[in-house]
Structure 1
Amino acid sequence: MDPDAIQRGERVPHGGETDRDLLDFSANTNPRTPDGVADVYTAALEDSRRYPDDDYPEFRAAAAEFVGCAPERVIPSPGGLAAIRLAMESVLEPGDEALVPYPSFGEYAREIRLQGATPRFVRYDDLLDLGPTTLEPCALAVVCTPNNPTGDAVDPDALASFAARCAAADTTLLVDEAFLGFTDRPSMARLDRENVVVARSLTKLFGLPGLRAGFAVASGDRRDALETARRSWSLGTPAARVGTHCLRQDDFVRDTRERVADERDRLREALETRFDVHPSEAPYLLCDVGDRDVATVIADARAAGVAVRDATTFRGLDSHVRVAVKDRAANDQLLSALGVRDADEGGDD
């Protein structure tokens, strides 16, 4: 990390509501957690009197099975963002350029700048069409699938083709799959290319964002670099044990995907009576509020007990909010707070 860049750096805004009296639709986390989590955590807390096994064999095995790769390619990390930072630290040097999608997760550009490198912004839906002229000057390219905040998931074949072009240009490709677990699309971890690093977050899919558990997947020399650079004991015992347990809950994952897809369709149909809603494969919907004032929409929702995400903080968006997809009862409260009725109940009011 570049000391001068740290002095110039700033925090970036995120979803997540600290007021526990509000129903939080600003953060895209599963409202449910797998059965047995509390028991696993309690047992792990007692075992936390000793250092964890820094090899994390059980966690690596569970993560590898979940994404379809060899266990030795898994690099444990305290959350998906830690995996992203680790990858960027291992690739970028001061003066480098990195391709960053927009609108997308604000931490990409921040983390690139903290390395003393320069983000080069490209529309997220144009990124995979780039050729050698654009790729060759860049040490890194970032792809988010499904993209945050739009919810678009990238076709795996198109992404594999882009990875090959990145390899030819000597560009490392970082694929952020924080929300891919909500879909049935395959992970790019199966691609097994030395120029590709995959970052995964466990805590969104399994409803435990405060646990901070995730991992990276890499191959060859890149994998060795990440393994050397990662912090010792990079996962606490509770995070490693609960993460291992969650990754093996196939029925929970299947049920979550079905519920989110059903509720997302229902929410979108209702919200479209008032807003322009972007198609999504993720557990969130991006809504263009048109000529309404975004701050007023957010304030009115808060007054009704619901927090939604101000999406104007994403580069390129100026009239948008983002809402999570929760369970049916909570989603009904969201619709009510936004002045929208369920389409099954007769449209908007």
Structure 2
Amino acid sequence: MIVHPDSIRTGDRVPHGGETDRTVLDFSANTNPYTPDGVEAVYEGALEASRRYPDDDYPDFRAAAATFVDCEPERVIPTPGGLAAIRLAMECTLEPGDEALIPYPSFGEYAREVRLQGASPRFVSHDELLAVGDGLLEECRLAVVCTPNNPTGEAADPDALAAFAARCGEAGTTLLVDEAFLGFTDLPSAARLEAEHVIVARSLTKLFGLPGLRAGFAVTTGEQRDALETARRAWSLGTPAACVGAHCLRQDAFVRETRKRVERERERMRQALEGRFDVVPSDAPYLLCDVGDRSVDDVIASAREDGVAIRDARTFRSLESHVRVAVKDRERNDRLLAALGVLEDGARRVDAGDDTDEGTTSE
């Protein structure tokens, strides 16, 4: 259950979105521009509590996370972010020489983490993954589903995912479901399946606008749960992350308003962007755009000249002419649309009554 030494020496880092220049409006990372009310006060209180080690059982965080995904608290495994949950799942599942079924185009860390365990990724198109043959499933120790998929944005149908999970169980294949962006939808978590061979990875920080906090969790059951609980690092969440995370997970009104805003703004942006690009339908807080015969470098550079950073999606497997843009709030989205030369089109299609964001959101 450790990273394979040879893989470290031959592996590479994976490029991601995220803009370090604070003077640039960042649409390359898919994070909420708002955080729930009360976060600062909770964080301040957690700083004093940080003078001691956290309670390694994390009862309050587990309870909040369990309510959020509708499972029992003991099934929750606290981790410092969703990616840490993914690595923990792979550490407990894969051995050198194993194969893992990985969707593409999708989050680049899946293949990297598989290789770091000394295993090999077998790539399958993201829109064909749930229908792969049983023979292929039997050859793979692990299968990964990303819902909504990053960067394409479509969420898996819950019934189709449940059927795939059942087939994975019959094939002896562990199923890892990455739900990093599922909180932006009202779809149920795969935690409801309560199957020992199913591991769910969740990230708090995208939905709640705190990517630097590093808080997340895994959910599974039975012996698999025991394995992850034993393998997770001691004090796997810092006190601020645990306290703020538990607070955020209980902000139902914030989550509802975020979902409404993202759905409304995503549709408005899609209509505007389709005047210039081919836009992939999405259930997520981002849109994948094919720039066609335009230069991706020129599109990115032009937007940056106007103070907006967008994601070069060519770093995703099989994408050669794409960019990805996040969905923020109306004011920020208008700046993006203006930088991409489509604001007038988008503004014309939006009802004037849709330009406010109400709810318990604060910057």
TM-score tier, shorter chain, comes to over 0.9
How far does residue 343 in structure 1 lie from its aligned partner after superposition? 2.9
In structure 1, the partner of 2:123 is: 121
Q: 1:168 aligns with which of 151, 166, 170?
A: 170
User: In 1, Cα distance between the equivalents of 2:167 and 2:114?
Assistant: 21
In structure 2, the partner of 1:214 is: 216
In structure 2, the partner of 1:179 is: 181
How far does residue 77 in structure 1 lie from its aligned partner after superposition? 0.1
SS of the residue corresponding to residue 136 of structure 1 reads helix
User: In 2, Cα distance between the equivalents of 1:342 and 1:226?
Assistant: 51
Q: Does the aligned pair in 2 maintain the 1:131–1:165 contact within 8 Å? A: no
SS of the residue corresponding to residue 143 of structure 1 reads strand
In structure 2, what residue type is equivalent to 1:9? G
In structure 2, the partner of 1:38 is: 40
User: In 2, Cα distance between the equivalents of 1:234 and 1:311?
Assistant: 32
In structure 2, what residue type is equivalent to 1:225? A
In structure 2, what residue type is equivalent to 1:163? A
Q: Does the aligned pair in 2 maintain the 1:26–1:322 contact within 8 Å? A: yes
Matched, 1:27 2:39: no
User: In 2, Cα distance between the equivalents of 1:169 and 1:72?
Assistant: 27
Q: 2:246 aligns with which of 244, 247, 251?
A: 244
List per-residue Cα deviations over 1:164-208 (Å, max 9, x = no partner): 100011000000000000000000001100000000000000000
User: In 2, Cα distance between the equivalents of 1:344 and 1:320?
Assistant: 20
In structure 2, the partner of 1:339 is: 341
Q: 2:101 aligns with which of 79, 87, 99?
A: 99
Q: 1:108 aligns with which of 104, 107, 110?
A: 110
User: In 1, Cα distance between the equivalents of 2:343 and 2:265?
Assistant: 14
User: In 1, Cα distance between the equivalents of 2:44 and 2:220?
Assistant: 32
Sequence identity of aligned pairs in percent? 76
In structure 2, the partner of 1:273 is: 275
SS of the residue corresponding to residue 139 of structure 2 reads coil
In structure 2, the partner of 1:59 is: 61
Q: Does the aligned pair in 2 maintain the 1:37–1:245 contact within 8 Å? A: yes
In structure 2, what residue type is equivalent to 1:83? A
Task: Specify whether residues 256 and 2 from structure 1 end up closer, same or farther in structure 2 by C-alpha distance, changes over 3 A only.
Answer: same
User: In 1, Cα distance between the equivalents of 2:165 and 2:335?
Assistant: 42
Task: Specify whether residues 63 and 21 from structure 1 end up closer, same or farther in structure 2 by C-alpha distance, changes over 3 A only.
Answer: same
User: In 1, Cα distance between the equivalents of 2:96 and 2:157?
Assistant: 32
In structure 1, the partner of 2:358 is: none
List per-residue Cα deviations over 1:23-43 (Å, max 9, x = no partner): 000000000000000000000
SS of the residue corresponding to residue 185 of structure 1 reads coil
User: In 1, Cα distance between the equivalents of 2:139 and 2:347?
Assistant: 54
How far does residue 345 in structure 1 lie from its aligned partner after superposition? 3.9
In structure 1, what residue type is equivalent to 2:302? D
How far does residue 339 in structure 1 lie from its aligned partner after superposition? 1.1
Could you say what the CA RMSD is over the residues aligned between the two structures, in angstroms?
0.8
Q: 2:287 aligns with which of 281, 285, 301?
A: 285
How far does residue 341 in structure 1 lie from its aligned partner after superposition? 1.9
User: In 1, Cα distance between the equivalents of 2:60 and 2:206?
Assistant: 21
In structure 2, what residue type is equivalent to 1:32? Y
Q: Does the aligned pair in 2 maintain the 1:266–1:342 contact within 8 Å? A: no
In structure 2, the partner of 1:318 is: 320
Q: 1:190 aligns with which of 189, 192, 197?
A: 192
How far does residue 344 in structure 1 lie from its aligned partner after superposition? 5.0
List per-residue Cα deviations over 1:323-348 (Å, max 9, x = no partner): 0000000000000111112435458x
In structure 1, the partner of 2:361 is: none
Q: Does the aligned pair in 2 maintain the 1:286–1:321 contact within 8 Å? A: yes
In structure 1, the partner of 2:207 is: 205
Q: Does the aligned pair in 1 maintain the 2:28–2:311 contact within 8 Å? A: yes
In structure 2, what residue type is equivalent to 1:291? D
In structure 1, what residue type is equivalent to 2:97? G
Q: 2:81 aligns with which of 79, 82, 98?
A: 79
In structure 2, what residue type is equivalent to 1:273? G
User: In 2, Cα distance between the equivalents of 1:206 and 1:297?
Assistant: 29
How far does residue 131 in structure 1 lie from its aligned partner after superposition? 2.3
Task: Specify whether residues 305 and 54 from structure 1 end up closer, same or farther in structure 2 by C-alpha distance, changes over 3 A only.
Answer: same
Q: Does the aligned pair in 1 maintain the 2:271–2:346 contact within 8 Å? A: no
How far does residue 301 in structure 1 lie from its aligned partner after superposition? 0.5
State the TM-score, normalized to the length of structure 1: 0.99
User: In 2, Cα distance between the equivalents of 1:333 and 1:344?
Assistant: 11
Matched, 1:7 2:9: yes
User: In 2, Cα distance between the equivalents of 1:43 and 1:341?
Assistant: 43
In structure 1, what residue type is equivalent to 2:296? V
User: In 2, Cα distance between the equivalents of 1:5 and 1:70?
Assistant: 36
User: In 2, Cα distance between the equivalents of 1:129 and 1:35?
Assistant: 43
In structure 2, the partner of 1:150 is: 152
User: In 2, Cα distance between the equivalents of 1:265 and 1:255?
Assistant: 16
In structure 1, the partner of 2:161 is: 159
Q: Does the aligned pair in 2 maintain the 1:332–1:342 contact within 8 Å? A: no
SS of the residue corresponding to residue 264 of structure 2 reads helix
Structure 1, unaligned runs of 5 or more:
none
In structure 2, what residue type is equivalent to 1:300? S
